[in-house]
Structure 1
Amino acid sequence: MSTEILMPKLGLTMTSGVVDEWIKKEGEPVQKGEHVCTISSEKLTAEVEAPADGILVKIIVAEGEEADVKEPIGIVAQEGETIDTQQPEETVSKPKQNQRVQEQLVPVSAKKPLVSNGERIFASPLARILAKEKNIDLTLIKGTGGNNRITKRDIEAYEHSATREVASTTDVVASSKSTASQNMGAGLTGMRKVIAKRMKTSLDQTAQLTIHRKADLTAFIKFKEEIKRHLSDTEIAGSLSLTVCVSKAVILALKEYPEMNSWYEPDTNGFQTFDEVHLGIATALSDGLMVPVIRNAHQMSLKELSGAITKVTQAAREGSLAGELVTGSTFTITNLGKSGIEYFTPILNTPETGILGVGSLQDKLTLNNDGQVITTKELPLSLTFDHQLIDGAPAAEFLGRIVSFIEKPYSLLL
């Protein structure tokens, strides 16, 4: 009995995905749970497992093609089993009983082809949407996907070709610049392609401004020492790390400045603030970057927050992060302190309107009350916000409130 390999839903907002690479080829044996291909969505890349033991008899969605969530991308069947993988011809007569089984193996997008001049046109759902939005006639495009299906890549290539032809008739110099611009990022695949797209979109759709400030850690260091004297090592393990305490300071400040705990969707002009704090923790991976989400972080104690941060960042690095913890953050924290960076300009994790960058600890020479020169520790912080929605003054107040919580660390226990 044949089994379809379906495009998985990796996150709450995922509607389609791209097949980046087929690890297994047609005709090769597979075992249930074995990785057969890698796919990517807007925010994540993942490996797809074989749903059953057997032979990969058909690759429906080729590398580089896009498919809707739950749409078949391949077929696994038993050795010796015959599967009709051809696209069914359109017919007026009622299908026979044995035709119904074969029809189930055809992608949904292929069951409802466009018809023009008597010819059938096969196109992915996303390709149809793009063609409609850009007023492109699908009959003018030659598909490069499986069974000559038109893909998103074909639409983009056609649009690029048409744009270049128009530009060349008016301004050769402008045409060369346009071509160079549109070729930026060519060849990127997998997670890097996803990151490139999201970073570019973030900068294109927002008015990002970054402000900086340092937090004096003198009181924080004393706070940690005093807590350690009164609690056992087991009780405080990791709970008083700088990352955890900065996260708690951000959560408390967000409750006072809800406009920073928000989403903005420029396409719909939608602006939404949240009572709940779903904290994103930017996490470096060997091949890119991911932002796992700590849901309902505002309800957690320092100890609970510490455990949650450790759990999601470790899962992200191991590639075992649950889909619901990939999207939905309302504010993000990113830390380059271990790299020795003092200040930087974090890019917004859209649709969020704020992100806090944490730098490396800095030594500062100052005078104590007795006039003696002493060394203190300071923590550089960089806040990026969307100036379309938030003015400089309230953003500065928000950053100042974070600093206040850090410099008065007992407030973090509230």
Structure 2
Amino acid sequence: MAEVKEFTLPDLGEGLTEAEVVRWLVEVGEVVAVDQPVVEVETAKAMVEVPCPYGGVVTARYGAEGEELAVGAPLLTVAVGADASAPAGAQGSGSGGADGGVADADGAGVAEDGGAGETSGAVLVGYGTGAPPARRRRVRPTPAAAAAAAGQVNGVASGRGRYAVTPEAPVRAEAAEPAPGPVPVISPLVRRLARQNGVELRTLTGSGPDGLILRADVERAIGAAAAPAASAEPGAAAPAADAGEVRIPLRGLRGVVADKMSRSRREIPEATCWVDVDATGLLAARRAMNAAGGPDAPKISLLALLARICTAALARYPELNARVDTDAREIVRLERVHIGFAAQTDRGLVVPVVRDAHARSAESLSEELGRLTGAARDGSLTPGELTGSTFTLNNYGVFGVDGSTPIINHPEAAMLGVGRIVPKPWVHEGELAVRQVTQLALTFDHRVCDGGVAGGFLRYVADCVEQPAVLLRGV
């Protein structure tokens, strides 16, 4: 007799309490193997594929795509055991009997370690063991087998699942075929936004590279559709506030960013100091370093050089590589430097983290920054790559602006902002010249240090930008 096991949304780490269902990867009635990904969810940190710790037949799914589920809420139920996990004809044949095996398409048994009472080999925060699981073949049951399994567990599965199996609603063994023809959309979040608002993506012209459809394209289409709808009824005067409104829920990534920024402004008494800097020397040093590496060597980015300068400055002014423990009323200075950097994506603002930046060379920093930037753009950053920074570097110059007073990335103690580098008249060696100038701004927590420390840090960074050889003094 099959045993129905309920799989709840696991703790995805870093204090996350909920996740949004983006895409189901399995259907009700489908046979799943232990550790097979069953759903893709979006947390406030990243997109995550969630593996199931049980092997057997899916009997119910909880939550529609686009719906938020709390950690610990039911995700799906699985009928495990020999009767539920073997296709019709395999039971009692000796190849998929009482050992809990799953028969493959040829009828040969595949050992199933994750039957009733066993645990998953995948380690996702909140459940699982450290033992590596055996590779298993994904098997879809025949309609007869799926119906038989559903009949065995009917009445046992919780009725909370909107897709729960009943005799009147036989399970589907195959997912619906996708619509033919590619649509130039990478982000599942953009697809969901379009689906929720009735926007047909095939009718849009994307403003991204190679016609890629972005969130902004979908939002424009929603706004265009809302305007005529507001005045559709003749003689009906709609409130002015309703005309052309687009309401975007503050949830998921946007919600967490909003909460974090509000908390930062609420708790941290921040102050900002800034200085204009001649970056001509830094640009020349970067050109020389890349030329010395040869045409095939990886190029060192400007952001990597700025990160390297920041690690040197934090070694001199460790007060800024810290956080405040408000409960204990203590300043906690941190020995390791994990540099976060602000990255704008279709999902919103994210801050990927370069671990142990203080132990990396400029070349290593450039390589890791490039990898994390690519992962941020395609939405594949893991929660661990988005948390734990101790100092943040914000290059808002890429947006064509000179300065800013950024909000500190709570619970850090400081953030360095870098404006655009543009040619400006500058007094150089006693004469007026055109130089490449930028503005550096340091926002800092006034609880961890006074203005003298903040000014000393910023001045050291500025000196290294103007004369990169200053870094050699600390080597």
The one-letter code matched in structure 1 to 2:409 is N
Secondary structure at 1:234's aligned position in 2? coil
Secondary structure at 1:374's aligned position in 2? strand
Tell me, in whole angstroms, the C-alpha distance in 2 between the residues paired with 1:29 and 1:334.
49
Q: Percent identity?
A: 28
Choose from 262, 266, 273 the match for 1:200: 262
TM-score by length of 1: 0.66
| Number of aligned residue pairs | 308
1:340 aligns with 2:403: no
The one-letter code matched in structure 2 to 1:262 is A
1:17 aligns with 2:17: yes
The one-letter code matched in structure 2 to 1:55 is V
Structure 1 unaligned regions, length at least 5: 88-184
Aligned to 1:359: 419
Q: 1:38 to 1:229 in 2, by over 3 A?
A: closer
Residue 277 of structure 1 deviates from its aligned partner by 0.6
Secondary structure at 2:388's aligned position in 1? coil
Q: 1:389 to 1:375 in 2, by over 3 A?
A: same
TM-score by length of 2: 0.58
Aligned to 1:238: 299
1:273-322: CA deviation from partner (whole Å, max 9, x where unpaired): 11111111111111212111111111111111111111122222222223
1:301 aligns with 2:361: yes
The one-letter code matched in structure 1 to 2:259 is K
Choose from 332, 338, 361 the match for 1:272: 332
The one-letter code matched in structure 1 to 2:47 is A
CA RMSD of aligned residues (A): 3.1
Residue 19 of structure 1 deviates from its aligned partner by 3.3
Q: 1:56 to 1:310 in 2, by over 3 A?
A: farther
Aligned to 2:453: 394
Asked if structure 2 preserves the Cα contact closer than 8 Å seen for 1:21 and 1:37, the reply is: yes
Asked if structure 1 preserves the Cα contact closer than 8 Å seen for 2:9 and 2:70, the reply is: no
Q: 1:349 to 1:366 in 2, by over 3 A?
A: closer
Q: 1:227 to 1:37 in 2, by over 3 A?
A: closer
1:125-136 correspondence runs (5 A): none
Q: 1:270 to 1:72 in 2, by over 3 A?
A: farther
Aligned to 2:171: none
Residue 384 of structure 1 deviates from its aligned partner by 0.9
1:177-196 correspondence runs (5 A): 187-196=249-258
Residue 367 of structure 1 deviates from its aligned partner by 4.8
The one-letter code matched in structure 1 to 2:376 is A
Q: Relative to total residues, which structure has the larger helix share, 1 or 2?
A: 1
1:73 aligns with 2:82: no
The one-letter code matched in structure 1 to 2:443 is T
Tell me, in whole angstroms, the C-alpha distance in 1 between the residues paired with 2:38 and 2:272.
42
Q: 1:60 to 1:322 in 2, by over 3 A?
A: closer
Which protein is bigger by CA-based radius of gyration?
2
1:255-279: CA deviation from partner (whole Å, max 9, x where unpaired): 1111100122324434211111111
Structure 2 unaligned regions, length at least 5: 85-145, 160-246
1:407 aligns with 2:411: no
Asked if structure 1 preserves the Cα contact closer than 8 Å seen for 2:25 and 2:38, the reply is: no
Asked if structure 1 preserves the Cα contact closer than 8 Å seen for 2:405 and 2:443, the reply is: yes
Q: 1:60 to 1:367 in 2, by over 3 A?
A: closer
Residue 364 of structure 1 deviates from its aligned partner by 1.6
Q: 1:258 to 1:30 in 2, by over 3 A?
A: farther
Aligned to 1:385: 444
Q: 1:369 to 1:23 in 2, by over 3 A?
A: closer
1:316-347: CA deviation from partner (whole Å, max 9, x where unpaired): 22222233222111101111111111100111
Q: 1:234 to 1:219 in 2, by over 3 A?
A: same
Tell me, in whole angstroms, the C-alpha distance in 2 between the residues paired with 1:388 and 1:326.
25
Tell me, in whole angstroms, the C-alpha distance in 1 between the residues paired with 2:451 and 2:43.
36
Asked if structure 1 preserves the Cα contact closer than 8 Å seen for 2:46 and 2:379, the reply is: no
Asked if structure 1 preserves the Cα contact closer than 8 Å seen for 2:10 and 2:71, the reply is: no
